[in-house]
């Protein structure tokens, strides 16, 4: 089935478009799929290799500075609150939980990706309430209430599978070993979660997007631009690491 992996994303988009009403019905199950997906991947994490690096610091600073800078830039040029807040949320929001699955499938270091997934979500739980104290419709909500609102939604999906995986590594090594052997299933769990999420998004656009078509197009263009920018800065941040690893492989082959 591995040869069909490259078709998963376009198939999910097409099915999400055609079956959006039905896909939207299954979105309550997406957190369960993400939980299972992360548990399979966290089971293979070597805890001793988890460490905070300057790469993590740089990526978090980029999210904080660029998200706020983009917000005020859009406001300054009269782009409107909805577009400005959408761009802020898009840049600030933490990496998707599926990044562990997809990045590792492409050859990324599992411990590095896991570290930033956890740190990124914690960073947003702290920074977002500060932003919301003077942006958006929740300005009257106290910081601790806003912090707890975000944390209680993030923790069960990110922290709980990580803690459970660590417990299994320590007390149930055979179960953990089994999960490591079937961790490839996480890709297909991601594909299913992607299908349901895309379906819900498309369904929402059909229901409420007619009166906000201009904002949707603007946010779509902005999302594309920031995807390119973020991809570029992520690549340049890890480029020395990639070339160092490539050099090590060449050295091993030669010797």
Over the stretch 45-104, which tens digit does the pLDDT of each residue have?
Answer: 998 889 999 989 988 998 999 999 999 999 998 888 888 988 898 899 888 777 888 888
Which helix (H) or strand (E) element contains residue 84?
Answer: helix 81-92
Residue 65 placed within a domain: yes
Residue 241 placed within a domain: no
Residue 46 placed within a domain: yes
**pTM, full prediction:** 0.81
Residue 80 placed within a domain: yes
Where is average pLDDT lowest: 114-123, 133-142, 241-250? 241-250
Q: What integer pLDDT is reported at residue 246 of this predicted model? A: 42
Q: Is the Cα dihedral 189, 190, 195, 196 positive or negative? A: positive
Half-sphere exposure of 59 (CA within 13 A, CB side): 27
Number of domains in the chain: 1
Q: What integer pLDDT is reported at residue 239 of this predicted model? A: 52
Residue 107 placed within a domain: yes
Backbone dihedral angles phi then psi of residue 204, each to the nearest 5 degrees: -65, -40
Over the stretch 238-253, which tens digit does the pLDDT of each residue have?
Answer: 555 444 444 444 334 3
Residue 18 placed within a domain: no
pLDDT band of 236, cuts 50, 70, 90? low
Question: For residue 94, is it left (φ>0), alpha (ψ between -120 and 50) or beta?
Answer: beta
Q: Bigger pLDDT: 128 or 237?
A: 128
Closest listed residue to residue 177, CA positions, set 39, 44, 47: 44
Residue 226 placed within a domain: no
Under 8 Å between Cβ of 128 and 92: yes
Residue 14 placed within a domain: no
Q: Which structural domain range is residue 176 located in?
A: 37-192
pLDDT at 187 over 90: no
């Amino acid at each position: 089935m591995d040869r069909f992996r490259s078709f998963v994303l376009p198939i999910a988009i097409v099915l999400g478009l055609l079956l959006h009403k039905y896909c939207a019905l299954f979105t309550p199950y997406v957190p369960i799929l993400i939980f299972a997906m992360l548990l399979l991947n966290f089971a293979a994490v070597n805890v001793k290799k988890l460490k905070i690096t300057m790469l993590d610091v740089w990526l978090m600073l980029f999210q904080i500075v660029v998200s706020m800078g983009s917000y005020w830039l859009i406001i300054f040029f009269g782009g409107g609150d909805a577009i400005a807040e959408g761009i802020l949320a898009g840049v600030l929001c933490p990496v998707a939980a599926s990044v562990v699955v997809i990045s590792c499938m492409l050859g990324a270091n599992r411990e590095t990706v896991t570290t930033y997934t956890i740190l990124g979500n914690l960073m947003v739980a702290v920074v977002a309430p500060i932003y919301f104290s003077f942006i958006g419709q929740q300005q009257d909500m106290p910081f601790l209430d806003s912090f707890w609102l975000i944390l209680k939604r993030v923790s069960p999906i990110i922290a709980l599978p990580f803690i459970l995986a660590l417990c299994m590594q320590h007390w149930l090594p055979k179960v953990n070993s089994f999960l490591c052997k079937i961790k490839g299933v996480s890709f297909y769990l991601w594909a299913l979660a992607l299908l349901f999420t895309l379906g819900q998004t498309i369904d929402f656009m059909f229901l409420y997007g007619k009166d906000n078509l201009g904002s949707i197009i603007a946010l779509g263009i902005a999302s594309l631009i920031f995807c390119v920018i973020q991809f570029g800065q992520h690549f340049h941040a890890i480029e020395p690491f990639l070339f160092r690893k490539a050099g090590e492989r060449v050295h091993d082959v030669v010797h």
